[in-house]
Structure 1
Amino acid sequence: MGQDIDRDDDERDSTLKTFHKGALLFREGQASDVAYIIKKGRVAIYRVVNNKRVGLGERGPGEMVGEMGVIGAEARASCAEALEYTEAMVCDQRLVRTMLLKSPRPVQLLTGYLAERVKALSGQITDRPSGNVFWSVCRVTALFWQATVRGETQEVSYAELSRTLKDVLLISQIEIDAVFERLKKLRLVTLTEIKGAFTRTDPLLGHKKPGTAFVRDRVLRLPDVDHFLAVAKTVAAEYRNNPDFAVDLEFFDLADFARTAEASPDILYKKIGYREIPEELFFFHKARTQAFVERMGREFFKQARRPRLTAADLERLDDIAAVDNATLQEAFSALGFRKVAVALAACGEAAREKILRNLSKKIAAVVREEAASMGEPDEDEVTDVEKELLDRIKAIKGLAS
């Protein structure tokens, strides 16, 4: 579409804008005041439905994004995000409409029809529970088959199966039909039409005659469920990297964060407390947060107290950041500067600061130099130092078993 735009109009009415990877060209719900013609890079189009990111495709050089909102003068129906460094020409509403006015009348009518069609389809986008629609349809089909087929009747109603797929997966009939067309080509299923006909009565003779024929239903046959699932799983792998209509979570909770990082929620809580995780990653559900504030009262948030130390809290070197200064000073004096240096070299930033604050300036300088000279500390030595230090702290606190 960009190649058909008059270049003089480009220079007068459009400007070049750049977007870094991850930057939004526009967000769903914003006013549709401009469209973009991509000159360099790629842009992902998506919607967020019930905290799920529903991908609608990608656009590349020479393609336009955001034009439908400008044509219809309506709010953005989707979001556009730069997948890489992107350069795009900004086309205001006047330029886009001028382009349409220069087009033949049939093209103008077709554009209007397409804008209405896109609007209708956008309203039908749902938050599907799976990013791989093909594999999800196959799995539900296999379960439906196993639950429905009994005795000698080795077939199921395609209409009933489709209703089940819509209810479970929240997908459209178009998507269902597309999957089964692929399955038919692979010869994993067969679909047979059951035709019917309207009857009409002859006004002269009174006899009933067949009228217009129609497809009443289709029956699906699945010869081998195990073979069906095995082949379908292999084919489904082809769809994993397909960005069209992919679904992902826009936000997830602490447990998902822990699984992604291959850590435990307890470790993440500590890292949050030590400010090792940037605050821009934190989001709170507004209504639930307000309810929690009301339940706890405003005074609850005036100050934060560190939980009382228990033996279970001391598991690793980094946990000494939660130990009081007097206890640490006593433990370090019994440990010796070499072992303190090993602890300094092996622990995290918060614990390092805690160690150095509880040493005299002279000893701190010696310990820091010793830790720097040892490079990567020996794992066995670190384990021994960790155990001895934690045991000493527990003994001082009266927590040792």
Structure 2
Amino acid sequence: MTAAGPPSLNSAGLGRSVSATGPRPPTRGRMPQDIDRFEDEADSAVRTFPKGTVIFREGQASDVAYVVKKGRVSIYRVVGNKRVRLGERGPGEMFGEMGVVTAEPRASTAEAVEYVEALACDKRLIQTMLLKSPRPVQLLAGYLAERVQALAAQVTDRPSGDPFLAVCRIVHLAWQAAGRGDKAELDYAEVSRTIKDIILLSQIEIDAIFERLKKLHLVSVTEVKGHFPRTNLLGKTKPGPSFIKDRRLRLPDPEKFLAVAKNLSRDDANAKAVGVDLEFCDLADFSREAGGTPEVILKKIGYGEIPEKLFFFHKSAAREFIESMGQEYFKQARRPRLTAADLESVDDIVAVDAATLEEILSTMGFHKVAVLAAMAGEAARDKIYKTLSKKIAGIVREEAAAMAALDEGEAAAVEQELLDRIKAAKGLAS
């Protein structure tokens, strides 16, 4: 059997796979594969990247390419504050080779979507393999590089020419699939997921389109509300704060829906470009992703429970706000005066003075205080421990750590007892 020829890059390193996926058979009695040859080269080495690691960013120097051995890598570009996904690379596939071939900065960003092991192949190795390839292959590599560069320049954050009409068409198709009866309804969240999968809009953009359709009476949205149960001191359960459990979507006039939507789309000359995924999101979108409310998120920011590195300010808007308020405004922060409405959960005790809290906790017993510490956020938990003596705090800390799973009914009752006692002590009870 003759020796194998020079290793190929699978379409000059610009294609997808450089080796067969799956477990490798024993080396004896088989032809070497491309990924094996990469491992044999002195200029390649295995590098590991934990989930979420940015392997390289758009605009950085292109000095190395990678062949994935394990895991998956997401390739994307950021265009107009929106992340445009270009694809994924898995075991046996190469990424980052374009910049090495063209000697230009990275045209995209690579991020590990799970734990990744990859062979790093430097520029000299890639060029050596290209030089070993036949002349037609070298020419083909150059042509493909130019073509990919041209296509990359056309990448846009607007995957749909008319997102409004595209959403309307998807809704109409979903309605037809659900049936045409008077009681037919669509699940708002399910329709939103379908839209995002097809035309890659963010939830904020989808909500804005549905809001417009509601104002035009082309759709109706019904909110189904739920309640968090509250248990009082007598053990009776009653409805607590309400929340939106589900949304149901209906088309009042399905026969005319799409025709009206087309006319609106035709007349709307000021349609805005929409994109794939926002690289930065506002407070409302953040709270929606987290399943909370902007008010709770703001409290957690104030309590230092959310890392400051997650938050950014629009520079020109921030400057305007600073000028309107004056710099003296930002030199001191005052906590709003405590009212009965402020006491909603154990986390709100950070606004209660230490003397009152110490008096209340001393009458509740070790077990109840441990339950409170186990269910509290970091800021509230620290305040509980600081309020207690070192000896008692140690006992409470150990008992709280031993609570693997809190009983929801007991936790709600203890929390309500704490809030009622504080309100009574501060004269805030209604």
2:124 paired residue number: 94
Shift in Å, 1:374: 8.7
> Aligned-pair RMSD on alpha carbons?
4.1
Shift in Å, 1:254: 2.5
2:104 paired residue number: 74
Q: Which residue among 285, 295, 301 is the counterpart of 1:272?
A: 301
Alpha-carbon distance in 1 for matches of 2:373, 2:167: 55
Shift in Å, 1:351: 2.7
Q: Cα deviation per residue 1:248-296 (whole Å; 9 max; x = unaligned)? A: 3333222222222222222222233333333443333344344444444
Shift in Å, 1:90: 2.5
2:280 paired residue number: 251
Alpha-carbon distance in 2 for matches of 1:5, 1:37: 8
Alpha-carbon distance in 1 for matches of 2:35, 2:409: 70
Shift in Å, 1:336: 6.9
**CA spacing shift, 1:137–1:70, aligned 2, 3 Å:** farther
Give matches, 1:130-141, under 5 Å.
Answer: 136=166, 139=169
SS of residue matched to 1:91: strand
Structure 2 unaligned blocks of 5 or more: 1-8, 10-17, 19-32, 174-198, 202-253, 259-274
Letter in 1 for 2:73: V
1:353 paired residue number: 382
1:105 aligned onto 2:135: yes
Shift in Å, 1:319: 1.1
Shift in Å, 1:8: 9.0
**CA spacing shift, 1:373–1:8, aligned 2, 3 Å:** closer
Alpha-carbon distance in 1 for matches of 2:41, 2:301: 50
The aligned length equals 302
Letter in 1 for 2:52: G
1:323 aligned onto 2:352: yes
Q: TM-score, normalised by structure 1?
A: 0.61
Letter in 1 for 2:295: D
Structure ranking higher in helix proportion = 1
Alpha-carbon distance in 2 for matches of 1:368, 1:114: 63
Alpha-carbon distance in 1 for matches of 2:40, 2:119: 8
Alpha-carbon distance in 2 for matches of 1:389, 1:137: 49
Q: Which residue among 44, 58, 69 is the counterpart of 1:39?
A: 69
**CA spacing shift, 1:59–1:360, aligned 2, 3 Å:** closer
Q: Cα deviation per residue 1:114-146 (whole Å; 9 max; x = unaligned)? A: 11111111111111367xx9x948827979xxx
Alpha-carbon distance in 1 for matches of 2:279, 2:59: 16
Alpha-carbon distance in 1 for matches of 2:200, 2:390: 66
Residues 15, 90 of structure 1: 8 Å contact kept: yes
Q: Which residue among 320, 335, 338 is the counterpart of 1:309?
A: 338
Residues 9, 95 of structure 1: 8 Å contact kept: no
Residues 35, 67 of structure 2: 8 Å contact kept: no
Letter in 1 for 2:292: A
SS of residue matched to 2:141: helix
Residues 127, 170 of structure 1: 8 Å contact kept: no
SS of residue matched to 1:80: strand
Residues 274, 350 of structure 1: 8 Å contact kept: yes
Q: Which shows bigger deviation, 281-290 or 114-123? A: 281-290
Residues 5, 99 of structure 1: 8 Å contact kept: no
1:155 paired residue number: none
Alpha-carbon distance in 2 for matches of 1:12, 1:104: 23
Residues 128, 170 of structure 1: 8 Å contact kept: no
Alpha-carbon distance in 2 for matches of 1:370, 1:30: 51
Give matches, 1:233-252, under 5 Å.
Answer: 247-252=276-281
Q: Which residue among 15, 19, 24 is the counterpart of 2:49?
A: 19
Identity of aligned residues (%): 68
SS of residue matched to 1:112: helix
Q: Cα deviation per residue 1:81-112 (whole Å; 9 max; x = unaligned)? A: 22333333333333323322322332222222
SS of residue matched to 1:100: helix
1:28 aligned onto 2:71: no
1:178 paired residue number: none
Q: Which residue among 292, 307, 311 is the counterpart of 1:282?
A: 311
Alpha-carbon distance in 1 for matches of 2:405, 2:117: 45
Letter in 2 for 1:17: R
SS of residue matched to 1:84: coil
**CA spacing shift, 1:57–1:360, aligned 2, 3 Å:** closer
Letter in 2 for 1:35: A
Structure 1 unaligned blocks of 5 or more: 144-168, 172-224, 230-245
Alpha-carbon distance in 2 for matches of 1:141, 1:328: 53
Alpha-carbon distance in 1 for matches of 2:343, 2:143: 67
Alpha-carbon distance in 2 for matches of 1:374, 1:69: 53
